[in-house]
Amino acid sequence: MSPRAAAGWRAHEGPICARCGDFVAAVPADAGGCPACAGSRLPFDAARSLFAYAGPVRDAIRAAKYGGRRAPAAALALRLHEAIGGRWADLFPDGFRPAVVPVPIRPWKYFRRGFNLPGLVGRALARRAGWPFLPLVLQRVRDPRPQAGLPLAQRSENVREGFRAAPGAAVPSAVLLLDDVYTSGATAAACARALKRAGAESIVVVTVARAVV
């Protein structure tokens, strides 16, 4: 799980859904979405993921989250920054300065691991891009069952109303919401709804990896 290894991971370069970012055949933004998001009112503008959650990427993320190993946050931030300035540039035009907000983890997980993986990557990305980094603006307000292992149909209900903007926090109008893995989109949607209620207007979800089926 070295920075050199992360630099060599193969990013997804195939077609995606323009709305939810699913790794499917190309679906334009005006088509109403792909099978994963058609008919859904997404609370964020768009979502993008860098890698498929498989092989060495999956192994490295799981080692960081469950094995106590530090992920190469700076190397991952570099890869994300390259994508933001390259194939995702339509979502990040010149002059657009979103605040980077990582998805928070449960406090007991933070104390056990000593870090939040989205927070580590988000801090490095914000520093590289010159954007604000707001790790405390979003909070968990209850402790639902872990999303990992739940059927996709149960994930949305499991995290519903599970997040809020920190009381008194000044939520920026433009947000890059950062997480490690996008699976069903339930966590991203719950976080985006909380940020929208607190005043955010534009939210782009960015994740290191995306689950593929």
Question: How far, in Å, are 17, 101, 175 from residue 198 at the CA level?
Answer: 28, 14, 12
CB atoms within 10 A of CB 117: 23
Give, as one character, the DSSP assignment of residue 10: P
Query: Which range has the top average pLDDT, 17-31, 81-95, 140-154?
Result: 81-95
- Torsion sign across C-alpha atoms 182, 125, 46, 168: positive
Confidence band for 109, pLDDT divided at 50, 70 and 90: confident
Confidence band for 160, pLDDT divided at 50, 70 and 90: low
Architecture in CATH of 3-210: 3-Layer(aba) Sandwich (3.40)
To the nearest whole percent, how much of the chain has pLDDT over 90? 62
Query: How far apart are alpha carbons 35 and 24 in whole angstroms?
Result: 9
Question: How far, in Å, are 17, 27, 54, 55, 57 from residue 10 at the CA level?
Answer: 19, 22, 11, 10, 9
* Continuous segment of H or E residues that includes residue 23: none
Q: Residue length, the chain?
A: 213
Q: 3-class DSSP state for residue 181?
A: strand
Look at residue 147 in the predicted model and tell me its pLDDT. 46
Query: How far apart are alpha carbons 30 and 48 in whole angstroms?
Result: 17
Average pLDDT over the chain, rounded to whole? 87
pLDDT surpassing 60 at residue 51: yes
Look at residue 70 in the predicted model and tell me its pLDDT. 74
